Amino acid sequence: MKIQKVFYVLILAIVLSCGGSDTPVPAPPTPNPPTAPKTYTDSEILEMVQKDALKYFWDFAESNSKLARERYHTDEPGADASTISTGASGFGMMTLLVGIKNGYIPRAEAVSRLTAALNFLYKAERFHGAWPHWIDGNSGKAKPFSTFDNGGDLVETAFLAQGLICVREYFKNSTDSGEKTLSKKADDLWKDIEWSWYTQGQNVLYWHWSPDYNFQMNHKLQGYDETLITYVLAAASPNYSINKSVYTEGWLRNGTIKSFSSQYGIPVVVNHNGASGTVGPLFFSHYSFLGLDPRGLSDEYVNYGDVTVNHTKIQYHYAVANPKNWLGYNSKNWGLTASYSRNVDGSTGYSAHQPLNDLGVISPTAAISSLPYTPAESMNYLRFLYNENYSRYIGVAGPYDAYSIHYNWVTPRYLGIDQGTISPMIENYKSAFLWNLFMNAPDVKDGLLKLGFHSSRYGF
């Protein structure tokens, strides 16, 4: 049976229950967050949450590489202190660009941080150009995600490359020599990824390759899930590009990606992997779309603007309908995605929350990162967090990763991949900043055109 990494719940539960294996290192102080002194305006909330999420990648970055830690626990700050998340590091780069743009962090210091991060990535272990899921922040070597997953991870690499391209585009016209060098380094790293090698000569991309187990995991990337960006970048690569047939047969499944079902009167549009007839976790509509603008974007079978908006609205209506009668689900408190979790028996771990796997746990990143798709519903959720429950659910790096009103439970912990989508997607809602950077990159446009995409917003 093919096992999708998005549902490696048992593996992650074991990792998380065992705690960190690294030697604890000094961490910044973690005082209790103050109670909100007043009712914040919507603009104040948006700025606060962006600044809060930035802290994860600025104050709590992995100390040697300056890349994103896999996790940060306020109750166990030394846990996995040297474990770098490749995908979250790409999201973190985009978060830092938002911080520079909005004046939240000093530009020169941010450039220095990004330069250190890219220099580390240049020396880190790679597998046909792809980085592993986890990297040791001290040695730069792969840290196994699972027994067979100890080599190249093409999807995590795609999330990182999305950030690299945005860094390249942001600084490419700078007159500052350090910034020009940074842009060139980002370009070199992205161009070295051997996307076509991960097809095994077939018309589909494969997620993993291991120097010890080869392609034994045998995980094909087939839509719809979080991996669309992998195909777009594979087609956009100037050195290791894939043919359109790889996309058509792999991601689109020769058209069978289309769904004709609906939920709450809303068309599902595409078949969500692991969620027959309904929708999957909301990260499916976040991870590929920090840079890739879904609005008016379509290929020969799918309009991705419809997919992402409908996905989010279905999840919202699911929470309002609350078929499992969880305490606290309503129009202000909604959003299911992969995060830390609590089980009925009181045990904790990790789970990919969705309507078919609803454990009564809300993950703040789900509704917040959906702000471009459901602005009214997501803003209502943010008011619920920042104006009504600040002292309960907001910590030193923004909203905690997960909570359950039903069980009166909250985890005082963060995951990089969850915090990483928050500020970029808020900024895309406000100004389309990262969408414009990424979509106007010449090689990205070439890749999209090669795959048969059309965009009403970007003129192709």
CATH number of 5-24+32-455: 1.50.10.140
* The pLDDT of residue 8 is above 90: no
Q: How far is residue 61 CA from its own chain's centroid?
A: 16
Between strands 454-455 and 297-298, the pairing is antiparallel
What's the DSSP call for residue 420?
Answer: T
- Stretch 132-144: mean pLDDT: 98
* The pLDDT of residue 301 is above 60: yes
Ramachandran region, residue 209 (left: φ > 0; alpha: ψ -120 to 50; beta: rest): beta
SS3 369: coil
Q: Strand pairing partners for 373?
A: none
Cα separation, 127 vs 124, whole angstroms: 10
What pLDDT was estimated at residue 38?
Answer: 73
Nearest to 83 by CA among 130, 138, 127: 138
Say if residues 348 and 342 touch (Cβ distance below 8 Å): yes
**What residues have CB less than 8 Å from 18, skipping those under 6 apart?**
none
Tens digit of each residue's pLDDT (9 = 90 or more) over 167-208: 999 999 999 999 999 999 999 999 999 999 999 999 999 999
Return the sign of the alpha-carbon dihedral for residues 421, 427, 431, 434.
negative
Lowest mean pLDDT among 20-34, 134-148, 182-196, 426-440: 20-34
| Residue 33 binned pLDDT confidence (cut-offs 50, 70, 90) | low
- The residues spanned by each domain of the chain are 5-24+32-455
SS3 breakdown of the chain: % helix, strand, coil, rounded to 5? Answer: 45, 15, 45
- Stretch 351-374: mean pLDDT: 98
Say if residues 426 and 261 touch (Cβ distance below 8 Å): no
| Residue 32 binned pLDDT confidence (cut-offs 50, 70, 90) | low
**Continuous segment of H or E residues that includes residue 31:** none
What's the DSSP call for residue 240?
Answer: S
Tens digit of each residue's pLDDT (9 = 90 or more) over 399-437: 999 999 999 999 999 999 999 999 999 999 999 999 999
User: What token pair was written down for 236?
Assistant: 């956009």
Cα separation, 138 vs 329, whole angstroms: 43
- Stretch 282-287: mean pLDDT: 98
